[in-house]
Amino acid sequence: MLIIKDIYNLHTYLKAYRDKGYSIGYVPTMGALHDGHGSLIEKSRNDNQKTIISIFINEKQFNDAQDFEAYPRNKGDDYNFCEKHNVDIIFEPSAGEIYPKEYKSIQNSHFKNILCDQYRPGHFDGVVTVLNRLFSIIESDKVYFGEKDFQQLKIVENLIKENFSNLKLVPVSTVRSAEGIALSSRNSKLSKKQMTDFLSFQKEVIQFIGNLDKKINLIEANKQAEEFIKSYEKFDYFEFRNASNLSLEGSLVEARLFYAIYKSGIRLIDNLEI
């Protein structure tokens, strides 16, 4: 396994791969790797001859400086994780390598003012800016994203469609614990009690979804969702949206439930298929 920190050397190895006709899969991450990332890596390894993972905590997508500083970092563990999963290259650039002085940020224009975009202004501008840069640098054949960040997945789908016609996006189902919570780097910040409370919340959410009539429309479903969540301590959103276009139109059977809640300042997001 190679750990490369600069674009010049990365291109040297990527060119050697391409000269041999190897297909290249790419998994973008911000580190603090867990089994959810592992499923992306395994999918890439099954699909391609070479797999590259990037580790870069992108400050541009944090609309809260404290959130950026608190984001979990465990570089040594990440290296061991990648080695265990037979990653070929870790690309771990500095901010200066990714964003030279002349580099200009780009704006996200899709799925605006809903879900995370509504509550984290500028977040997806930072996401598309860094991905536009990374996709241009790495030029992989395929790129792998989990469905846990579903709005991000839909935005990336449009970014690729508009700017990277040779890149194939491969969505991968969310990896969950035995209790049903989505694996996330932020889960490691929860105390034992907070995790217990979160597990109880998730169980109640799953029961709530299971008790709904799947034939009702999203307007009615969201009335019931509003009633369910109104007493929760702190949340940004808890609502059903059409899984194909994130609209509020259609029936429940076509939807996913999206939520963003807080546990002592730790923001936790998920989306659940119906």
37, 85, 110, 123: the active-site residue: 37
- The H helix count followed by the E strand count for the chain is 10, 9
**Residue length, the chain?**
274
d(CA 160, CA 144): 12
DSSP strands (E only) in 57-141 = 89-91
Task: Examine the residue annotation and report whether 37 is marked as an active-site residue of this protein.
Answer: yes
Q: Where are the alpha helices (DSSP H) in 85-122?
A: 95-98, 115-119
The rounded distance, in Å, linking the Cα atoms of 206 and 220 is 18
CB of 23 closer than 8 Å to CB of 44: no
The phi and psi torsions of 252 (rounded to 5 degrees) equal -60, -35
Query: Catalytic site residues?
Result: 37
